A and B are shown apart, each in its own frame.
Chain A
Amino acid sequence: MTKAKKVDPIKLEIYKNRFQSVAEEMGAALQRTAFSPNIKERRDFSCALFDGMGRMIAQGDHMPVHLGSMPMSVKCVIEKLTLKRGDTAILNDPFRGGTHLPDVTLVHPVFLPEDKEPSFYTANRAHHADIGGMTPGSMPLSTEIFQEGIVIPPVKFEENGRINKALMDVLLANVRTPGEREGDFLAQYMAAKVGEKRLKEIVEHFGRTEVFQYLDHLQDYSEKMIRVLIKSIPDGKYTFADHMDNDGQSDEPVRIEVEIRIDGSEAEIDFSKSDPQASGCINAVYAITLSAVFYIFRTLVEYPIPSNYGCMVPVRVIAPEGLIVNAVYPAAVSGGNVETSQRIVDVLYGALAKALPGKVPAASGGSMNNLTMGGADPETGEQFAYYETIACGMGARPGKDGISGVHTHMTNSLNTPVEVLENQLPIRILSYSFRKNSGGKGKFTGGDGIEKSIEFLTDASLSLISERRQIAPYGLKGGKPGKPGENLIFRNNSSGKLNAKFNISVTKGDVFTVRTPGGGGYGR
């Protein structure tokens, strides 16, 4: 592609906004038509646009954990499939472009009139409430991928304008709530088409030549912004290590270590000294590690910039295969996306705190507290499966306290309203409030975590993947660490402590209480 000699700062701004709003509109359409609580209530999804080479153009401000991983999906689809007009690909295989199985991604090629090759791809990823596997909600304490649900390699969901019914039948036969799944797939499919329509309108309006020129300019623009940022970090090596509590199979902590090497306007992020992949479910695939790195650089840039391919050009991520940060087939990965991603962020900020004192916050709660439950509804006899994440406290910032009870870093999903939950599931919520004094003390205090109690109105299965139950979120500059979380069960008039990761059967009348970690404090 030939580059125009001069970039028009006015057109640059106009294209930037236009592409961003296409990604946002896809997201709005998906959210409003989806059936999984995770998508419609909690906004656990992402929409993005790619050029014909699979380079990301824009991503909606949805879920940071999808930042680096959406491009991997599109890359895999381009490598494995030849998509024609009227085709759409689907995948969730973590080792072929996915992250963990409940996150199902659709990739749709956009052909301009008379073209044989796609000029764009639209992609969207959504967290489905259940994708099969050993426990309802598909976030099990697994030891290999096969236990976590149905694995979908990149295949055609739609071919020549028709949805692949055989594939749909196989998928729906392998999940607990097929009606809901079918609706979600359709919502994702329609959202991908909204993106296609808008991209075509942009090309029609501005003309092909200029649009492609500015696609390049936008990549350069983001790259330039990230280079300006990296240049502001003093050259040198910065290291930091932190641990996951355990992998859900043994009690051993799992170490994640990073060395950040800054040289001029380029950065090398080296995770080579991290532990090998675990036998439990906390393994992160490379896409997740990439997302975490992408995220922290994005937060340190002063202005909002398009989340595109250009952002990562000046950054090299080194994560050898077989480590906890780049697990290989057939590792169990259900918790890597949600838990390990947060710890990767913690070590990255920990290292950068040394390079950029006064800019980086103390550790936030560091867990998404993934709660899944399922069983049969006593009123209707129908199967139910439910997944949610619960917020922690935010780490204190240089200059201000952390926020209490808020999702941080790699997630920003909403809670499901109590009144919606109780209308849909045989449970009663007994409390949902701040966990007092759980934020780390300091000149600025970390945010408090949350205490949530759930009474079961029927027998059910309950599992939780949580972190920071043993190893506390760190404070910075002399600030105290946040209080680690606690998981408690009350049954037969007595209470018991549960592990950070568990899967149990509960009976009618049991009450489960989760107290999430507070954020670290900042300054003495």
Chain B
Amino acid sequence: MTIATGDSTIMIGIDTGGTFTDFVYIINGDIKVLKVLSTPSNPGLAIFEGLDMIQADNTFDFSIIHGSTVATNALLERRGKKTALITTKGFKDLIEIGRQNREDIYDLNVDRPAPLIPAKLRFEIDERTAHNGEIIRKANRNKLIKIIEKLKKNRVESVAVCFLHSYMERTNENIAAETMRKAGFNVSPSSEILPEYREYERFSTTAVNAYVAPIMDKYIKSIQKNLKDIKLRIMKSNGGVISADTARKESVNTILSGPAGGVVGGYTIGKKAGFTNLITFDMGGTSTDVALCPGKIITSSDSKVAGFPIKVPIIDIHTVGAGGGSIASMDSGGALKVGPESAGSDPGPVCYGKGSRLTVTDANLALGRLDASHFLGGKMKIHYDKMLKLLRKTAKEYGITPDELSSGIIRIVNSSMEKALRVISIEKGYNPAEFALVSYGGAGSLHAAELARDLNIGTVIIPLNPGIYSAMGMLFSDFIKDYSRTVLIRAREDSYNTIEKKYVPLEDRAMIEMLEEDVPKGRIKMIRMVDVRYMGQSYELTVPFKKDYISGFHKAHKKRYGFCDENRMCEAVNIRVRCIGETKHPRIVKEKTEKYSKSGYRSLGSREVFNGKEYVRTSVYDRLQLRSGNEIKGPAVIHEYSSTSYLPPDFILRVDGLKNMILKNN
């Protein structure tokens, strides 16, 4: 493979994961990969260690794109900074009441996540704006100054300012935000973070931002200090990057940036391999992330993290609690369950030595799909006998054979992942048969082919180094900034111009902020979208804003829900501008592969592998020895350092010019 970069500065993608921090860069046509053990208490240490190692071997100038889990972990582990809320009089408990529902209707012990901002740090101001933007009562500065004393006494660092109807008129929020900023607080006003209506979701997003921003601010500053002049960009959850300075203020946009990097990486490699419609499939230890990319990466604004709604655009990733570490158990009604409980990496599967409950990885080992001598290139000790003993004992308890149990575990975990794939495709009006599946992440390639078969997906793409796709994706990310505003305008023919005018201030702001990121004007692109619904509905569909956007909406409604009503009045709810600042991506040149041949490679040997019905003799290959143009007929197992792939009997595998393995169902 020859990869040429178009820039003298080398970009390094760095993804901080739970176990490893991955580094990827492309130099002189080669993809270089480095894995360093993560340092969770101070993630920066692993970054500097890796950079030192890279610099010791190289002399090039470089810049960094970093996918950070700092904001995510601060939220998940509740380690954010002390945050206060200033809100409209009468509504200080609203962020705790949420939508007044409970997550599980049949669980008497159900809990609500404890609010990020406790009651004693929630303050009310006697201000009010009406739904039409009319200011009924102005925010009073003196009242705000009195609150400042209390905030200081409580050692508050960050303040969320959340007033009703501020998406329509932000004067009162500006007064409060300005007063608080002057007093030295890190301030997040809801009208800046997410100027869209529906107060709980807006307030929640703003509170999350306020909670994690000081942590992110400190983290980025500490990295910048060590990097000195080296340019640092941060990966966002919408699949784009932003400068480190922007990320410090809008930290909520970086939550879920790791999985976002993976989707960009998977989508990019799938496209380079010649496919347009792609589904990305990332199976890890505890969960599986899937995303539908019909010719483009889709974002949605419907996410929830740690129980809190986050309504900023995030790559539309669907997650299901099924992974290599998912635990198998039988319930008292006699149904076998797999997941969502996971053995994770500690204690891990039984075969890793410490685990005491069977997992998906154990089942794969029992079926011969994984080989005890090939974990992490043979560096990891595997306790095969311990797994086998427990498998036999458990199968006996359940009254089935060990093979029925282990193949059953695979079928159930596959059915959970199949459900996830159905949710993102069939349920949204897309036929999976028209897509190719890109499988990356450690565990997925053992399952991808069988999953594809169940959903009539004809092609599976397994890129080289599937374990580092989040970091890889960062090298192919552009600057992406999303802007939105609630407008609530009846969508008639004559309202096009009215709506059109509302885009102008959004685009002006987008242009200024993109230029601040040092993107040249010629590389800046604006995309206009609009959220439309039938007047009276509550859920919108996002369609391109063009002259014919109304008929575009009817078509989208028909595709998504099976019907539309062209006589019904529509309403434009939110306008959206996506501003893209194109960056220079490493260029990938494909090796020519006109013919595929079943010769020219050797197997490592063969072993008995369960094919779904019985054990058959199956050839085993080393991925590093496969060359572009090789073709293998299933069944086969292919080993590489961080992953193993299973090729069922009814599939053939071809190695393309990018060294991707392309699996096709016969």
A305 at the B interface (CB under 8 A): yes
Beta-carbon nearest neighbor of B404 in chain A: A10
| Pair B334/A7 contact, Cβ less than 8 Å | yes
A28 at the B interface (CB under 8 A): yes
Residues of A within 8 A of B338 (CB): 13
Residues of B within 8 A of A37 (CB): 538
| Pair B106/A9 contact, Cβ less than 8 Å | no
| Pair B102/A407 contact, Cβ less than 8 Å | yes
A429–B90 CA distance with the chains assembled, in angstroms: 9
A64 at the B interface (CB under 8 A): yes
A41 at the B interface (CB under 8 A): yes
Chain B interface, >50% SS class:
loop
B199 at the A interface (CB under 8 A): yes
| Pair B108/A299 contact, Cβ less than 8 Å | yes
Beta-carbon nearest neighbor of B97 in chain A: A405
Given known contacts A13-B412, A193-B562, A403 and B102 CB-to-CB distance under 8 angstroms: yes
| Pair B538/A190 contact, Cβ less than 8 Å | no
A71 at the B interface (CB under 8 A): no
Residues of A within 8 A of B58 (CB): none
| Pair A10/B334 contact, Cβ less than 8 Å | no
Given known contacts A17-B416, A21-B422, A406 and B92 CB-to-CB distance under 8 angstroms: no
| Pair B335/A406 contact, Cβ less than 8 Å | no
A29 at the B interface (CB under 8 A): yes
Question: Shortest distance in angstroms between A229's beta carbon and chain B's nearest beta carbon?
Answer: 9
A417 at the B interface (CB under 8 A): yes
| Pair B97/A391 contact, Cβ less than 8 Å | yes
A404–B97 CA distance with the chains assembled, in angstroms: 8
Beta-carbon nearest neighbor of A179 in chain B: B536
Residues of A within 8 A of B100 (CB): 390-391, 405-407, 413-415, 450
Beta-carbon nearest neighbor of B400 in chain A: A9
Question: Shortest distance in angstroms between A325's beta carbon and chain B's nearest beta carbon?
Answer: 22
| Pair A433/B94 contact, Cβ less than 8 Å | yes
A460–B130 CA distance with the chains assembled, in angstroms: 20
Contact of A183 among B337, B423, B536 (CB under 8 A): B536
Given known contacts A419-B198, A423-B131, A397 and B112 CB-to-CB distance under 8 angstroms: no
A276–B416 CA distance with the chains assembled, in angstroms: 49
A439–B200 CA distance with the chains assembled, in angstroms: 24
Question: Shortest distance in angstroms between A432's beta carbon and chain B's nearest beta carbon?
Answer: 6
B164 at the A interface (CB under 8 A): yes
A31–B107 CA distance with the chains assembled, in angstroms: 23
Among the 9-residue stretches B232-240, B325-333, B470-478, the one with 4 or more Cβ atoms under 8 Å from chain A is B325-333
Question: Shortest distance in angstroms between B21's beta carbon and chain A's nearest beta carbon?
Answer: 36
| Pair B105/A412 contact, Cβ less than 8 Å | yes
Among the 9-residue stretches A119-127, A218-226, A280-288, the one with 4 or more Cβ atoms under 8 Å from chain B is A218-226
Number of B interface residues at 8 Å Cβ cutoff, please give it.
63
A302 at the B interface (CB under 8 A): yes
Contact of B102 among A194, A400, A408, A419 (CB under 8 A): A408
Given known contacts A9-B398, A25-B427, A61 and B335 CB-to-CB distance under 8 angstroms: no
For chain A, residues 2 to 47, give those with C-beta under 8 angstroms from any C-beta of chain B.
7-10, 12-14, 16-18, 21, 25, 28-29, 31-35, 37, 40-41, 43
Contact of B333 among A180, A303, A412, A453 (CB under 8 A): A303
A29–B416 CA distance with the chains assembled, in angstroms: 21
| Pair A417/B105 contact, Cβ less than 8 Å | no
A82 at the B interface (CB under 8 A): no
Beta-carbon nearest neighbor of A222 in chain B: B333
Residues of A within 8 A of B167 (CB): 419
A233 at the B interface (CB under 8 A): no
Given known contacts A194-B562, A407-B102, A419 and B197 CB-to-CB distance under 8 angstroms: yes
A417–B561 CA distance with the chains assembled, in angstroms: 25
Beta-carbon nearest neighbor of B557 in chain A: A33
A431 at the B interface (CB under 8 A): yes
B29 at the A interface (CB under 8 A): no
| Pair B561/A21 contact, Cβ less than 8 Å | no
Binding site for A on B (CB under 8 A): 89-94, 96-97, 99-102, 104-112, 130-131, 164-165, 167, 197-200, 330-338, 398, 400, 404, 408, 411-412, 415-416, 419, 422-423, 427, 488, 534, 536-539, 557, 561-563, 565, 568
A-B contact pairs, 10 of them (CB 8 A): A21-B423, A32-B538, A33-B563, A302-B332, A303-B333, A400-B109, A403-B102, A406-B112, A407-B102, A412-B101
Binding site for B on A (CB under 8 A): 7-10, 12-14, 16-18, 21, 25, 28-29, 31-35, 37, 40-41, 43, 61, 64, 179-180, 183, 186, 190, 193-194, 221-222, 224-225, 228, 295, 298-305, 360-361, 390-391, 397, 399-400, 403-408, 412-415, 417-420, 422-423, 428-434, 450, 453
Closest 3 A/B residue pairs (Cβ): A431-B90, A10-B408, A40-B538
Sample of 7 further A-B pairs with CB below 8 A, known A403-B112, A418-B199, A450-B97: A225-B333, A299-B106, A400-B109, A403-B110, A412-B102, A417-B199, A432-B97
